């Protein structure tokens, strides 16, 4: 039986993030910073000790630093993601203001590693193989009065289908993955046209979405295994059980263009304060 907590059973996100950094430009960095400011609009990052769980390309860590975070610790279980994060931060931030380490959320310990003003994990914990345990482990790293920013896939009627697709895609060679992406993109183009959206314009402007690249996000979505999802109600209830109060949230509304899960499940975002 496959151990979903073993990084070797996971989709190789790090390879995708290294590729993404080759198209990273100042406009994408600025858009990523705007996305981070949307979560923390009141200067909450100024002077903060910041933990980035599942750092990926390192762009979120960089955005936090640009918004005033004093020290950043970035962790990821994928060595290529750690290398991507290290490369981006070393070229952008002063030494001594950040660290990056190969580490799972399940290996974090507030007793050993300390706690943080802000713990951030965007679109990561639903790929760990044990989502609720991962949320619990991440939340434990937040100091009293600190903030936890988490984004998790919304549960949809098609989550079972996508779990199967992601398992297949993750194990498949590129010669199989390429036509799978082609089918997905063709359906997405058709849905855009049906909705009166110009696909070329959508893709050209896509970097306004957290500074991401559409092609890289398609690959990321199709291969994101392990995969779990949650309803907004279940996330709110779980955070409350852990002693957090949701301060702000950005919850996807029906009819958001994803056809309620047929073309994918977007993330619901929550920023919660740990009640002292």
**Angle formed at CA 162 by CA 161 and CA 165, multiple of 5 degrees:** 90
Percentage, residues of the chain above pLDDT 70: 93
Q: Determine the average pLDDT of the residues in 116-139.
A: 97
CA distance 245 to 241: 10
211 pLDDT more than 60:
no
Domains of the chain with bracketed CATH: 7-156+223-274 (3.40.50.150)
pLDDT of residue 86: 97
pLDDT of residue 254: 59
pLDDT of residue 20: 83
Most confident of 198-202, 227-231, 255-259: 227-231
CA distance 105 to 225: 16
Give the pairing of strands 267-274 and 98-102.
unpaired
> For the whole model, what pTM was predicted?
0.91
Do residues 130 and 105 lie in contact, with contact meaning Cβ atoms separated by under 8 Å? no
Name which residue leads in pLDDT, 11 or 60: 60
Do residues 60 and 52 lie in contact, with contact meaning Cβ atoms separated by under 8 Å? yes
Q: Determine the average pLDDT of the residues in 69-92.
A: 96
Burial-class residue 31 by CB neighbours within 10 Å (0-12, 13-18, 19+). buried
Model confidence over 236-271: pLDDT tens digits? 999 999 999 999 999 977 555 455 788 888 899 999
> CB neighbours of 10 closer than 8 A, spacing ≥ 6?
4, 77, 78, 127, 129, 170, 225, 226
Radius of gyration of the chain (CA): 18
Which pLDDT band holds residue 1 (cuts at 50, 70, 90)? very low
Burial-class residue 41 by CB neighbours within 10 Å (0-12, 13-18, 19+). exposed
Give the pairing of strands 49-53 and 267-274.
unpaired
73 pLDDT more than 50:
yes
pLDDT of residue 260: 75
pLDDT of residue 125: 97
Percentage, residues of the chain above pLDDT 90: 71
């Amino acid at each position: 039986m496959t151990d979903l907590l073993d990084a070797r059973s996971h989709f190789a996100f790090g390879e995708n993030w290294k590729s993404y950094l080759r198209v990273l430009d100042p406009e994408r960095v600025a858009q990523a910073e705007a996305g981070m400011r949307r979560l923390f609009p009141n200067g909450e990052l100024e002077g903060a000790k910041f933990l980035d769980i599942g750092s990926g390309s390192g762009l979120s860590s960089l955005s936090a630093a640009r918004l005033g975070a004093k020290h950043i610790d970035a962790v990821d279980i994928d060595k290529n993601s750690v290398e991507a994060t290290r490369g981006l931060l070393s070229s952008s931030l002063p030494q001594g203001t950040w660290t990056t380490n190969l580490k799972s959320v399940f290996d974090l310990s507030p007793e050993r590693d300390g706690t943080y003003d802000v713990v951030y994990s965007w679109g990561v914990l639903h790929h760990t193989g044990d989502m609720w345990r991962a949320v619990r482990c991440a939340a434990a790293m937040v100091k009293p009065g600190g903030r936890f920013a988490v984004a998790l896939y919304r549960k949809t009627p098609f989550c079972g289908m996508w779990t199967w697709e992601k398992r297949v895609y993750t194990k498949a060679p590129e010669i199989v993955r390429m036509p799978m992406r082609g089918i997905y993109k063709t359906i997405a183009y058709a849905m855009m046209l049906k909705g009166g959206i110009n696909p070329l314009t959508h893709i050209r402007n896509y970097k306004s979405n957290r500074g991401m690249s559409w092609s890289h996000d398609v690959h990321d979505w199709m291969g994101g295994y392990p995969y779990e999802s949650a309803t907004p109600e279940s996330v709110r209830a779980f955070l409350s059980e852990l002693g957090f109060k949701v301060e702000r949230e950005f919850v996807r509304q029906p009819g958001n263009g994803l056809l309620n899960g047929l073309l994918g499940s977007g993330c619901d975002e929550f920023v919660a304060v740990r009640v002292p």
